[in-house]
């Protein structure tokens, strides 16, 4: 079945409704306060209510009988999802490996992985980019700008 | 004329080889730092300041001015080239600037941004010279209710300018507001949704949010497409704006500068508000508003001038009230303190040479910026020619390191990745990110001012209407929100909306 | 590009030059000073006045960062958990760091989480009103307050801070009730008062000195009249025995190694004992101090004792009075 904008709106509306209700309920556990002494829960409560109301409006609107634009499939190419997933995973991996492996090495791995596996380049190009990239980055950030980036167990 | 002799005095102070050199260094460092997110001007200043012990404080101030302007400009560069705003004020520049880059017109965009900033700088210097004291009075008239209403209007303006459905933009804005409440409450000290993580105590930083929503999400959206898609499909044309560009941009730059200067006088997030107010005004005044967002030069010229002029206007509270508007200007305050000068209402009359010297140095910073950056435009644009399969890992790296080097926090990097996912999904679902980001940045201040106003009025929400300035802003906000329902305005909007939701952005 | 390469070389040399050869181990890199309030406030002014001397003495940049919120509690919570290597230090305010852990929930620090390197100055707190407010003396103020309980908006920075406490003390001693409005920094209180958005404020001597033409200063909480504020009576003269004040300086997490502590202490002492530094501080309205670690902690203990006494005597911070 072809998806139209209305389907997307519906899903989004439900997401925001959940968020809105969450904040509204959460606000009650931190003081909402009163109108002349608004507490930390004041804004979350009212904003949460507003968001919930708007989500319901969006949800109802999505059942309307207008000419909805047809949306293309979620992933434009068949193998898009692989690239998207791999890239996100590599970002997460970078974050986790940065401290143990150190800045220069982690950067090297990161660049090499992405260049090679997302839009595959030759090994020569990959290594060139990865090495140059990590060396320049290290020089720039650690030596020149003196940011305190982790050195990792390899010590560089 | 008295004014002229002041200018001469300032210029005399300024044009020594030493001062010129330091200004140049400042601008260079500033631009470099502005291009790298997360390393704000404060970091650059901290690194260079020890060198200034050996030179006079005036020189130090001159370098400071160079860094400040350089950083603002650097932020615009990345907005245009890779759709990553260097700071909150540059978010607006991404809307049309990046689109221009995609059409091969990155050169003119960068050029107009530089010239716009220069013209804005000129206008704000003139403004400073002529109207500083009365403006200070104007700034004082802004209290908590006025700030709240101003910010509210700012968000409403942004929502009104949204491409697609106003409802969806509103939802993103409210969501941004809610996200902005995360952290330690500024008034009562209660932790809100921080899950015991100390890093979250001061809230979700806007840099991880921007890097995620604009940087990461953009890259991911791009790599979904065809392999080996070149980012720039057309041959790069002129590197500089052509005559038509100048004609189109002239009035936006002037308007943006004046607007930005006045808004800049108010302490607070002036560059952000002035940038998107300018955008809104240009769109309203334009003959072809539906083209905004596809790469019209007015959408770059106006906001860039506005945010630079706001930067100039921000010096006013310091000189007239002795109150720095932001942390960079606070450094200037420190420089004054070194000389035992107490900034306050008497400053301009008691220490004219310092005042005028500073003004001229700000101006010089502007000039330097132009001189330095125009030749570099060619270099920046070459960056875009790097094949995307190699470019995008570098962009991602730049985001990762930028965020990490802020506070050395993995939590913030994780947040950025989270925002990246969200931004990616938001694009698919046709929700705009700009309202979210701006609400996130302005939300906490809005909330504080809201609560302060209510405490002052002892619970009466009517305070926002009782104060005339505040009432004006509220009225404009309401008018903008209701306008889609008024038939003849509504029809125009509807056409825009249908056009947009029918295509893929 | 030849020019470009030269630029790089120049810059590299430049940056190398900036790192003076420091023979000692500490400090090796920039020191970050966390300011718990907004730019332009007292902590800021004092820190920036000290900055050039500190940088010269330590040989590294002294970077001032801002972390305002909750009257300082946000910054101090972070500082207590910061790495205890001497590179992360911050400003503080007494009595805030005493009162907040006692009375605020969710606060992630305790008064003895820190080592105070030096108390640099203190500012007596006084009462000021906006220019067009219809009172000219404290006596008239009290009368007005009694006639309009809870109506006067009185600004101050944060809750459970020096200003808050002074307000409570005043209300207790005079039997009045004012509406305390919480800001995050002195500069905000300053603009609000100058602009007439709040009626009154209990605020620092420095603010009074810098704004004295735009506000009316009614009284100051010092033992004797202050030279920088001619014609302003003390609370004591008016029959109100209150001496509210805020003391500030630099502190760091307690676990910093002793020799690094000593090094930092030395730096601050050398800075604050310079006569030209003292003169600048006085001109701005501060009461400069020269105290090292031991003296500062003694001061802290004495202030704490005094505060506890006042709280008990007057039942100042019970829920009803907040």
Q: Is A2 on the interface with C (CB under 8 A)?
A: no
Dist. CA C39–CA B326, nearest whole Å: 7
Our CA-based measurement puts residue A105 at a distance from the nearest CA of chain C, in whole angstroms, of: 24
As for how many domains chain B has, the answer is 1
Choose the weakest-confidence range: B429-438, C6-15, C41-50, C249-258: C6-15
**In the numeric block, which tokens belong to residue B310?**
């706001």
Which residue in this structure is represented by tokens 């930028």? B402
Q: Residue C90: what pLDDT?
A: 92
For chain A, the farthest-separated pair of C-alpha atoms sits apart, in whole angstroms, at: 68
Which of B33, B180, B188, B393 is the best substitution to test chain A (most A C-beta atoms within 10 A)?
A: B393
With H, G, I as helix, E, B as strand and everything else as coil, classify residue C136. coil
Our CA-based measurement puts residue A43 at a distance from the nearest CA of chain B, in whole angstroms, of: 7
ipTM computed for the complex: 0.84
Q: For chain A, what are the domain ranges?
A: 5-61, 80-144
Give the nearest chain A residue to C180 (CA atoms).
A37
Residue C148: count other Cβ atoms within 10 Å of its Cβ. Answer: 13
Q: Is A40 on the interface with B (CB under 8 A)?
A: yes
Beta carbons of B51 and C284 less than 8 Å apart: no
For helices B57-82 and B298-313, give the axis angle rounded to 10 degrees: 160
Query: Do the Cβ atoms of C269 and C290 come closer than 8 Å?
Result: yes
Q: Is C52 on the interface with A (CB under 8 A)?
A: no
Our CA-based measurement puts residue A119 at a distance from the nearest CA of chain C, in whole angstroms, of: 32
What dihedral do alpha carbons B270, B275, B276, B281 form, nearest 10°? 110
Query: Do the Cβ atoms of B305 and B252 come closer than 8 Å?
Result: yes
Beta carbons of A144 and C12 less than 8 Å apart: yes
H helices present in chain C, as ranges: 2-18, 42-58, 73-81, 96-103, 138-147, 162-174, 186-194, 205-211, 258-272, 275-284, 293-314
Beta carbons of B338 and C52 less than 8 Å apart: yes
Which of C50, C195, C280 is the best substitution to test chain B (most B C-beta atoms within 10 A)?
A: C195
Size of interface B-C (CB pairs under 8 A): 166
- Could you tell me which residue, C102 or C115, shows the higher pLDDT? C115
Strands C88-94 and C245-253: antiparallel
Q: Which of C312, C264, C257, C320 is nearest to C292 (CA)?
A: C264
Q: Residue B57: what pLDDT?
A: 61
Q: Which of B300, B306, B283, B284 is nearest to B246 (CA)?
A: B300
Query: Do the Cβ atoms of B322 and C195 come closer than 8 Å?
Result: no
Size of interface A-C (CB pairs under 8 A): 5
Q: How confident is the model at residue C11 (pLDDT cuts 50, 70, 90)?
A: very low
Beta carbons of B224 and A80 less than 8 Å apart: yes
For B264-333, what is the HEC assignment?
HCCCCCHHHHHHHHHHHHHHHHCCCHHHCCCCCCHHHHHHHHHHHHHHHHCHHHHHHHCCCCCHHHHHHH
Sign of CA dihedral B459, B463, B464, B470: negative
Give the nearest chain A residue to B226 (CA atoms).
A77
Q: Residue B228: what pLDDT?
A: 45
**In the numeric block, which tokens belong to residue C178?**
């004012």
Q: What is the pTM of this model?
A: 0.77
What is the arithmetic mean of pLDDT over A121-148? 73
What dihedral do alpha carbons C134, C139, C141, C142 form, nearest 10°? -150
Which residue in this structure is represented by tokens 């002239």? B250
Dist. CA B399–CA B217, nearest whole Å: 11
Q: Which of A6, A1, A14 is nearest to A62 (CA)?
A: A6
Of C105, C183, C194, the CB nearest to B140: C194
Q: Is C29 on the interface with A (CB under 8 A)?
A: yes
Q: Residue B395: what pLDDT?
A: 81
> Which residues of A, range 89-148, sit inside 8 Å of C by Cβ?
144, 146, 148
Report residue B40: phi and psi, to 5°: -80, 180
Dist. CA B106–CA B297, nearest whole Å: 10
Q: Which of C292, C230, C242, C231 is nearest to C267 (CA)?
A: C292
Q: How confident is the model at residue C165 (pLDDT cuts 50, 70, 90)?
A: confident
Beta carbons of A40 and B190 less than 8 Å apart: yes
Dist. CA A35–CA B457, nearest whole Å: 10
Which of C9, C11, C14, C15 is the best substitution to test chain A (most A C-beta atoms within 10 A)?
A: C15
Report residue C248: phi and psi, to 5°: -135, 160
**What subunits make at least 3 CB pairs under 8 angstroms with A?**
B, C
For B189-207, what is the HEC assignment?
CCEECCCCCHHHHHCCCHH
Give the nearest chain B residue to C195 (CA atoms).
B140
Average pLDDT, chain C: 82
What is the arithmetic mean of pLDDT over C21-47? 76
Q: Residue C251: what pLDDT?
A: 92
Query: Do the Cβ atoms of C201 and C213 come closer than 8 Å?
Result: no
Q: Which of C218, C220, C229 is nearest to C285 (CA)?
A: C229
Distances (CA, A) of B233 to B102, B293, C250: 7, 19, 57
Dist. CA A106–CA B396, nearest whole Å: 13
Give the nearest chain B residue to C159 (CA atoms).
B188
- What DSSP letter does each residue of B411-431 carry, written as one string? HHHHHHHHHHHHHHHHHHTT-
Residue B198, burial from CB neighbour count under 10 angstroms (0-12, 13-18, 19+): middle
Number of residues written out for chain C: 322
Provide the terminal-to-terminal Cα distance of chain B, rounded to the nearest Å.
55
Query: Do the Cβ atoms of C22 and C51 come closer than 8 Å?
Result: no
Of B168, B177, B410, the CB nearest to A47: B177
Answer whether the bond into residue C95 is a cis peptide, omega within 30°: yes
Beta carbons of A119 and B389 less than 8 Å apart: yes
Query: Do the Cβ atoms of B363 and B312 come closer than 8 Å?
Result: no
Q: Is C63 on the interface with A (CB under 8 A)?
A: no
| Range of the structural domain that residue B355 is part of | 2-502
Dist. CA A47–CA A33, nearest whole Å: 15
Residue C17, burial from CB neighbour count under 10 angstroms (0-12, 13-18, 19+): exposed
Beta carbons of B340 and C279 less than 8 Å apart: yes
Q: Residue B102: what pLDDT?
A: 79
**What subunits make at least 3 CB pairs under 8 angstroms with C?**
A, B
Q: Is C224 on the interface with A (CB under 8 A)?
A: no
Our CA-based measurement puts residue C274 at a distance from the nearest CA of chain A, in whole angstroms, of: 32
Of A16, A35, A110, the CB nearest to B397: A110
**In the numeric block, which tokens belong to residue B345?**
């209402």
Of B170, B396, B401, the CB nearest to A54: B170
Give the nearest chain A residue to B46 (CA atoms).
A145
Q: C241: phi > 0 → left, psi -120 to 50 → alpha, else beta; which?
A: beta
Of B140, B337, B345, the CB nearest to C45: B337
Of B145, B184, B327, the CB nearest to C74: B184
> Which residues of A, range 17-46, sit inside 8 Å of C by Cβ?
none
Residues whose CB is less than 8 angstroms from the CB of residue C199 and which lie 6 or more positions away in sequence, other chains included: C129, C130, C133, C152, C153, C154
Query: Do the Cβ atoms of B440 and B206 come closer than 8 Å?
Result: yes
Average pLDDT, chain A: 78
DSSP H/E element including A76 = none
Q: Chain C contacts of A148, Cβ < 8 Å? A: 29
Q: Which of C61, C53, C64, C110 is nearest to C89 (CA)?
A: C64
For helices B410-428 and B388-407, give the axis angle rounded to 10 degrees: 130
**In the numeric block, which tokens belong to residue B41?**
């001007």
b/e burial code for range B473-489 (CB count within 10 A of at least 16 → b)? bbeebeebeeebeeeee
Q: Is C18 on the interface with A (CB under 8 A)?
A: no
Beta carbons of A146 and C12 less than 8 Å apart: no
Q: Residue A17: what pLDDT?
A: 92
Give the nearest chain B residue to A11 (CA atoms).
B429
Q: Chain C contacts of A144, Cβ < 8 Å? A: 12, 15
Query: Do the Cβ atoms of B66 and B22 come closer than 8 Å?
Result: yes
Q: Chain B contacts of A121, Cβ < 8 Å? A: 389-390
Q: Is A32 on the interface with B (CB under 8 A)?
A: no
In tens digits, chain B (505 residues) has pLDDT values of 355 666 666 666 666 777 777 777 777 777 776 776 655 555 555 555 555 555 566 666 677 777 777 777 777 887 888 787 777 778 888 888 888 887 778 888 888 888 888 888 888 877 777 776 676 677 777 788 888 888 888 777 777 766 667 788 889 999 999 998 888 787 777 778 877 677 777 778 777 887 788 778 878 887 776 554 444 444 445 666 777 778 888 888 888 888 888 877 766 667 777 887 788 778 777 777 777 777 788 888 888 888 888 877 777 777 766 666 666 666 666 666 655 566 665 666 666 666 776 777 777 777 777 777 777 766 666 666 677 777 788 888 878 877 777 777 788 889 999 999 998 888 888 888 778 887 887 788 888 888 888 888 887 888 888 888 888 888 888 887 776 666 555 555 555 555 544 433 3
Residues whose CB is less than 8 angstroms from the CB of residue B235 and which lie 6 or more positions away in sequence, other chains included: B104
Query: Do the Cβ atoms of B110 and B384 come closer than 8 Å?
Result: no
Q: Chain A contacts of C63, Cβ < 8 Å? A: none
DSSP H/E element including B378 = helix B352-383
Size of interface A-B (CB pairs under 8 A): 170
Q: Which domains does chain C have, with CATH numbers?
A: 23-122+247-310 (3.40.190.150), 124-244 (3.40.190.10)
Which of A41, A42, A144 is the best substitution to test chain C (most C C-beta atoms within 10 A)?
A: A144
**In the numeric block, which tokens belong to residue C171?**
């209300």
Our CA-based measurement puts residue A115 at a distance from the nearest CA of chain B, in whole angstroms, of: 6
Q: Chain B contacts of C71, Cβ < 8 Å? A: 189
B273 Cα distance to chain centroid: 8
- Could you tell me which residue, B266 or C201, shows the higher pLDDT? C201
Strands A37-38 and A33-34: antiparallel
What dihedral do alpha carbons B259, B260, B261, B265 form, nearest 10°? 110
Give the nearest chain A residue to B428 (CA atoms).
A74
pLDDT tens figures, A45-89: 989 999 999 999 888 887 776 666 666 666 666 677 788 888 888
Beta carbons of B323 and C190 less than 8 Å apart: yes
pLDDT tens figures, A15-28: 999 999 999 988 88
């Amino acid at each position: 079945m072809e998806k139209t904008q209305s389907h997307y709106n519906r899903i989004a509306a439900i997401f925001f409704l959940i968020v809105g209700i969450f904040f509204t309920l959460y606000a009650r556990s931190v003081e909402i306060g009163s109108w002349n002494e608004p507490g930390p829960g004041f804004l979350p409560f009212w904003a949460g209510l507003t968001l919930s109301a708007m989500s319901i409006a969006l949800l109802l609107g999505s059942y309307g009988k207008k000419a909805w634009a047809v949306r293309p499939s979620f992933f434009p190419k068949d193998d898009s999802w692989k690239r998207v997933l791999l890239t996100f995973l590599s970002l997460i991996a970078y974050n986790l490996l940065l401290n143990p492996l150190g800045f220069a090495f982690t950067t090297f791995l990161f660049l090499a992985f992405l260049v090679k596996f997302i839009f595959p380049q030759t090994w020569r190009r990959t290594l060139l980019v990865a090495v140059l990239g990590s060396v320049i980055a290290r020089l720039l950030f650690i030596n020149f700008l003196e940011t305190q980036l982790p050195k990792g167990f390899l010590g560089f | 004329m008295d004014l002229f002799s002041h200018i001469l005095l300032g210029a005399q102070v300024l044009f020594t080889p030493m001062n010129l050199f330091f200004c140049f260094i400042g601008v260079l460092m500033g631009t470099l730092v502005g291009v790298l997110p997360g390393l704000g001007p404060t970091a650059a200043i901290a690194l260079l300041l020890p060198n200034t012990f050996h030179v006079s404080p005036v020189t130090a101030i001159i370098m400071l001015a160079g860094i400040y302007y350089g950083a603002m400009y650097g932020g615009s560069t990345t907005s245009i080239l890779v759709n990553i705003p260097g700071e909150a004020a540059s978010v607006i520049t991404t809307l049309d600037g990046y689109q221009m880059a995609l059409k091969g017109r990155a050169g003119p965009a960068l050029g107009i941004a530089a010239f716009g900033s220069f013209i804005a700088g000129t206008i704000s210097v003139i403004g400073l010279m002529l109207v500083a004291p009365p403006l200070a009075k104007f700034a004082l008239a802004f209290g908590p209710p006025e700030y709240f209403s101003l910010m509210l209007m700012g968000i409403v303006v942004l929502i009104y300018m949204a491409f697609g459905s106003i409802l969806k933009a509103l939802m993103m804005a409210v969501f941004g507001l809610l996200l902005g409440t995360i952290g330690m409450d500024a008034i009562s000290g209660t932790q809100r949704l921080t899950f015991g993580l100390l890093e979250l105590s001061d809230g979700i930083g806007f840099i991880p949010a921007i890097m995620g929503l604009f940087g990461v999400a953009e890259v991911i959206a791009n790599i979904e497409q065809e392999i080996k898609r070149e980012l720039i499909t057309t041959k790069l044309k002129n590197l500089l704006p052509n005559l038509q560009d100048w004609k189109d941009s002239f009035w936006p730059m002037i308007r943006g500068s004046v607007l930005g200067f006045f808004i800049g006088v108010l302490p607070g997030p002036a560059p952000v508000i002035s940038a998107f107010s300018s955008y809104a005004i240009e769109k309203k005044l334009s003959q072809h508003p539906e083209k905004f967002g596809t790469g019209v030069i007015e959408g770059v010229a106006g906001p860039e001038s506005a945010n630079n002029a706001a930067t100039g206007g921000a010096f006013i509270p310091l000189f007239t009230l002795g109150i720095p508007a932001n942390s960079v200007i606070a450094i200037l305050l420190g420089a004054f303190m070194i000389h035992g000068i107490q900034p306050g209402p008497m400053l301009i009359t008691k220490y004219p040479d310092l005042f005028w010297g500073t003004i001229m140095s700000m101006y010089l910073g502007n000039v330097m910026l132009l001189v330095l950056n125009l030749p570099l435009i060619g270099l920046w644009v070459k960056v875009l020619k790097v094949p995307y399969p190699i470019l995008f890992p570098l962009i991602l790296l730049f985001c990762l390191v930028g965020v990490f080097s802020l506070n050395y926090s993995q939590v913030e990097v994780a947040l950025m990745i989270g925002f990246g996912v969200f931004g990616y999904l938001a694009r698919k679902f046709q929700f705009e990110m700009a309202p979210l980001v701006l609400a996130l940045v302005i939300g906490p201040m809005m909330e504080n001012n809201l609560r302060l106003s209510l405490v002052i009025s002892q619970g009466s929400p009517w305070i926002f209407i009782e104060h005339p300035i505040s009432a004006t802003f509220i009225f404009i906000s309401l008018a903008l929100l209701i306008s889609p329902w008024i038939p003849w305005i509504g029809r125009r909007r509807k056409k825009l909306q249908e056009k947009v939701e029918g295509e893929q952005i | 590009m030849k020019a470009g390469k030269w630029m790089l070389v120049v810059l590299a040399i430049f940056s190398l030059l900036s790192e003076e050869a420091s023979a000692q181990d500490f400090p090796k890199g920039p020191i970050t000073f966390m300011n718990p309030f907004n730019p332009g406030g007292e902590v800021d002014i004092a820190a920036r006045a000290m900055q050039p001397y500190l940088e010269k003495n330590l040989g590294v940049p002294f970077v001032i960062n801002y972390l305002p919120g909750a009257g300082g509690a946000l910054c101090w919570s972070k500082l207590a958990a910061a790495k205890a290597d001497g590179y992360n230090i911050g400003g503080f305010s007494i009595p805030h760091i005493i009162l907040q852990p006692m009375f605020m929930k969710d606060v992630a620090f305790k008064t003895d989480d820190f080592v105070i390197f030096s108390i640099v100055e203190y500012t007596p707190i006084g009462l000021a009103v906006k220019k067009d407010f219809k009172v000219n003396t404290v006596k008239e103020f009290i009368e007005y307050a009694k006639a309009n309980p809870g109506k006067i908006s009185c600004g101050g920075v944060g809750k459970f801070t020096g200003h808050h406490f002074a307000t409570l003390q005043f209300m207790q001693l005079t039997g009045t009730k004012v509406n305390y409005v919480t800001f995050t920094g002195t500069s905000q209180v300053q603009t609000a008062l100058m602009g007439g958005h709040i009626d009154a404020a209990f605020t620092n001597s420095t603010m009074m000195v810098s704004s004295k033409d735009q506000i009316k200063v009614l009284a100051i909480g010092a033992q004797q009249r202050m030279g920088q504020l001619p014609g302003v009576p003390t609370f004591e003269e008016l029959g109100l025995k209150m001496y509210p004040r805020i003391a500030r300086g630099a502190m760091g997490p307690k676990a910093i190694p002793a020799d690094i502590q000593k090094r930092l202490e030395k730096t601050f002492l050398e800075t604050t004992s310079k006569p030209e530094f003292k003169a600048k501080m006085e001109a701005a309205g501060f009461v400069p101090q020269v105290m090292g670690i031991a003296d500062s902690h003694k001061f802290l203990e004495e202030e704490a004792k005094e505060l506890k006494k006042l709280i008990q005597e007057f039942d100042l911070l019970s829920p009803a009075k907040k």
